[in-house]
Amino acid sequence: LIHLLSTEGLPRDILLHILDTAQQFVSVNDREVKKVPLLRGKSVFNLFFENSTRTRTTFEIAATRLSADVFNLDIARSSTAKGETLLDTIANLSAMAADIFVVRHSESGAPYLIAQHVAPHVHVINAGDGRHAHPTQGLLDMYTIRHYKGDFRNLSVAIVGDVLHSRVARSDIHALTTLGCPDVRVVGPRTLVPSDLAQLGVRVCHSLQEGIRDCDVVIALRLQNERMSGALLPSSQEFHQSFGLTPQRLRWAKPDAIVMHPGPVNRGVEIDSSVVDGAQSVVLPQVTFGIAVRMAVMGIIAGNEA
């Protein structure tokens, strides 16, 4: 593995290797992550051209725990604002001896463009590109599901909300199907969950009751207002009325179903506060597992080099 750009096409053995490696970075109480010298002397550049709280911070923590030097480019104050192109920015940062670029960009494909132009020893990790992919979120979601549910082969997983514009949904779907999950459902209104998503090997449901009935895992997604035109955008109230996850509706899932959300959460829209903060929610453990998963990804792609 040289770059991590998508979970699509990642073989099952590599997915499992990443999850197993992440497990080694999680201690017995599931919270503390050990510091190791795997990336000592390496430089990790965090390039977030789009806002982030969880991904950016956990990449920084993960790189620090691998003993790398971490640099966070402040894009708003960078020469990007003066019109410097993406590839010129990358060329100049490469001249500062970068080893790993962690890239988030609103344009789908931006990390691929960068990966085509960096030197062979430089690695690119996609931290979310447009509506296309968010592979480390997909991986931490798989880690979380495996942690709470064990095997993927008997699970029903429902992904509820704005699937059309969600890079998380796509990364989750590719990983879940590769890992052998037999029942993946995408659930929401027709404008946000079009029927052609069935091409991804999932069941399309336009009723929340049908979509989450007896499932083991419910993944709620935010309305990606920033990626929608007005015609598609349902009002928050409309969405909540039909697809908002409330304590009453969660009873349609299995009693021991876990509730996940990649964040940021819009409380009272796609999910009620009492569900986010409730006994079935694993939203915050997802964030914690993200550190170990990102350590694993960076360690695997760059950890065995001189």
Q: Which is nearer to ligand CP, 42 or 261 (CB)?
A: 261
Q: Which is nearer to ligand CP, 38 or 63 (CB)?
A: 63
| Closest distance of CB 290 from ligand CP, Å | 8
d(CA 56, CA 294): 11
**Is residue 167 annotated as involved in ligand binding?**
yes
**Is residue 82 annotated as involved in ligand binding?**
yes
Q: Which of 255, 170, 178 is nearest to 221 (CA)?
A: 170
Contact criterion met (CB below 8 Å) for 261 and 220: yes
Q: Which is nearer to ligand CP, 104 or 146 (CB)?
A: 104
**Is residue 134 annotated as involved in ligand binding?**
yes
| Closest distance of CB 213 from ligand CP, Å | 27
Tell me if residue 290 falls in helix, strand or coil. Answer: helix
Q: Which is nearer to ligand CP, 205 or 286 (CB)?
A: 286
| Closest distance of CB 80 from ligand CP, Å | 19
Contact criterion met (CB below 8 Å) for 211 and 242: no
Which residue ranges make up the site for ligand CP (CB under 6 A)? 52-56, 128, 134, 137, 262-264
Phi-psi region of 107 (alpha: psi -120 to 50; beta: other; left: phi over 0): beta
| Closest distance of CB 176 from ligand CP, Å | 17
d(CA 133, CA 126): 8
Give me the sign of the Cα torsion angle 125, 89, 108, 9: negative
- Summarize the annotated binding site as residue ranges: 54-55, 82, 104, 134, 137, 167, 222, 263-264
- Summarize the annotated binding site for carbamoyl phosphate as residue ranges: 54-55, 104, 134, 137, 263-264
- Summarize the annotated binding site for L-aspartate as residue ranges: 82, 167, 222
